[in-house]
Amino acid sequence: MRRNVLLTVLALMMLVSLSEALVVNGQDRRLAEPSKEDDKQVLKALLDEVRQLRMALQRSNTLNQRLQITLERLRLQQGRVDSLARSLENVRTRITDLKNARPQMEEQIKYAEEVMANAAEPNRRNELEREIKEMKARLASWSRDEEQLREREAELTSELQIEQNRFIELNSQLENMIRQLDGP
């Protein structure tokens, strides 16, 4: 935007200079009638300068639009990367929780088996046997859950890497555009 304003000011200064030159040229014409060829050259130079200015403004406007689009894509991509990173962290936390709960469950099973071995009452033995089966089933379920979570972790890790690479690519495009704005 600053560059557009600078170019516009520069164009206005050039137009003022050229108009002064034409006024002076008009005064000189009265003194020493210059040829129509000089007028054509001045007009041609003025038209060339206006065309160059218009092309520069068009390039700048196009670049500004591309810059805005890239910034929005970069913002969306950052959201995607952040979301995947949170999901991955949640999966890793659940895996850790299952790993930490496993030894405790194994201890409870071992203790229940010891109590059952020493239990004399058939009802108590049956109750402990049922509890042990339930705990072992829960432990097996945790193993399946952990396996699924590990698969999900691998998927999320892969997706996150892909999305991070896209983010890096967009950031690189943005830096190139900024260099173009700062360029000659």
Q: Could you tell me the residue ranges of all domains in the chain?
A: 2-182
Tell me how far apart the alpha carbons of residues 150 and 142 are, in angstroms, rounded to a whole number: 12
User: What is the DSSP annotation of 4-67?
Assistant: HHHHHHHHHHHHHHHHHHHHHHHHHHHHS---HHHHHHHHHHHHHHHHHHHHHHHHHHHHHHHH
The two tokens of residue 101 are 């709960």
> Is residue 95 predicted with pLDDT exceeding 90?
yes
User: Which pLDDT score is estimated for 167?
Assistant: 95
* Of the ranges 17-31, 68-82, 115-129, the best mean pLDDT one: 68-82
> Is residue 29 predicted with pLDDT exceeding 80?
no
Q: Which of 31-35, 59-63, 167-171 has the lowest mean pLDDT?
A: 31-35
pLDDT tens, position by position, 38-53: 888 888 888 888 889 8
**Mean pLDDT computed over 11-39:** 58
- The architecture in CATH of the region 2-182 reads Up-down Bundle (1.20)
CA angle 45, 54, 46 (to 5 degrees): 15
Q: Are 180 and 63 in contact (CB under 8 A)?
A: yes
Residue 31 pLDDT grade (very low, low, confident, very high; cuts 50, 70, 90)? very low
* Residue recorded with tokens 């999901």: 87
